[in-house]
Homo-oligomer: A and B are copies of this chain.
Amino acid sequence: MSEPENKVTRRGVLAGAAAGGAALAAGAAKAEGDPLITEVQPWAQGLGEGVDATPYGLPIEYESDVIRRNVEWLTADTISSINFTPIHALDGTITPQGCAFERHHSGAIELKKEDYRLMINGLVDRPLVFTYADLERFPRENHVYFCECAANTGMEWAGAQLNGAQFTHGMIHNMEYSGVSLRTLLNEAGLGAAGDLADKWVFVEGADASSNGRSIPMEKALDDVLVAFKANGEALRMEHGYPVRLVVPGWEGNMWVKWLRRIEVTDAPVESREETSKYTDVLADGTARKWTWVMDAKSVITSPSPQMPIPHGPGPMVITGMAWSGHGRITRVDVSKDGGKTWETARLGTQGDSKALTRFYLDIEWDGSEMFLQSRAMDETGYVQPTKTQLREVRGLNSIYHNNCIQTWWVKENGEAENVEVS
């Protein structure tokens, strides 16, 4: 605990406003009041807007900065671009589809439900082709899961580079999916022909030009993988794989194949481009880790952060962020204000589901001095999120993927924040 000695209470901070309010309540000293509460405002003097004109609504104009953003130099061209979720400006756990990060390898395609087909072939008793309407006839499930790109935080391997939580950690979203268990569809095709399932795989492909093929071990395919049609209640957006994508809970986002077209049961991994030259982790000695599917426990403070400076002076304030683990539930998050020397356990704002985002809060009295804010997530396996130093010792500096290190924001006395490293 490193609580400031000079405590300022929440009540104290509101004294200015309260003085006006108290005077108003006594019916006196109107001039001391705030006209925004004492005078009838234009929006209370007439009719507002009807909503019939917006049968599908968008955010109000004043929130026009809460959007997906790209970092132009990160990808070679706009077609293979990454759009980052504005996590700095969000709260709770659900990510709206409209601002949920999006990565594709050959552009988002427009595929009508009527034109949609899903083939299951390979080592199955009976190859099948499903239409979209066929899929809707199988028992459905609903689950909230996070989806994180393996390259999320990848630029931080080399140092503190991107000045904003949106850019360092925004390749993640968290949605409620509705769909059919992949297990159900594989059983429909029949796995008898595959023999011993322990060493079998499925190879999944999308309908886009990149096809983005990935191999998934049968054990995972029969566990919790979903063939999903809906996210947050409604159809998947085009950029999220309309009409059908794969949901591979806790595993890297590249495996969540969009515009899902084909599932082949195989006796070995395909070793596709996306799991050899890409999405493997080059170590210090030049060898590469592969089959690093699971996204380990990770967290980040979203506010305050470089895009969310503290807008006020010393006193009460809320530190908030999000934590997640591909291995299960988040059980605890600690927050440090001094770059990892001392830690306080944060409050979890509703316990997130397994393999879903958890929101955390630390309610503090800020003494106005600089802070080096960090958060450290723990999951139900006992795993503790590592420091950047610990991660580099094991993994070197050559990698792009699977950087789940502790992030530091240097919050200055003026409330502004900056991406830094602490030794």
Contact = CB atoms under 8 A, between A and B. Distances in A.
B209 A37 contact: no
B96 A233 contact: yes
B234 A14 contact: no
Interface residues on A, range: 35 or more
Q: Could you say how many copies of this chain the assembly holds?
A: 2
Contacts of A45: 209
Contact of A121 (B25, B41, B261, B262): B25
A102 interface: yes
B47 A79 contact: yes
A305 interface: no
Contact of A233 (B22, B95, B141, B237): B95
A235 B126 CA distance: 49
Interface stretch (A194-202, A216-224, A285-293, A310-318): A310-318
Contacts of A41: 115, 207
A239 B24 CA distance: 30
Interface stretch (A85-93, A275-283, A330-338, A371-379): A85-93
A10 B96 contact: no
Given A131-B17, A134-B14, A108 B48 contact: yes
Contact of A99 (B22, B234, B312): B234
Contact of A312 (B98, B108, B133): B133
A344 interface: no
Interface stretch (A50-58, A248-256, A389-397): A50-58
A192 interface: no
Most chain B CB atoms below 10 A, which of A79, A129, A140, A239 = A129
A209 B34 contact: no
A56 B57 CA distance: 12
Interface string A158-202: 000000000000000000111000000000100000000000000
A298 B233 CA distance: 19
A270 interface: no
A107 B47 contact: yes
Interface in A374-416: none
Contacts of A94: 94, 176, 232-233
Contacts of A341: none
Given A60-B235, A208-B43, A68 B91 contact: no
12 contacts: A10-B138, A21-B127, A24-B119, A36-B116, A43-B111, A47-B107, A48-B107, A55-B68, A58-B58, A63-B234, A63-B242, A66-B235
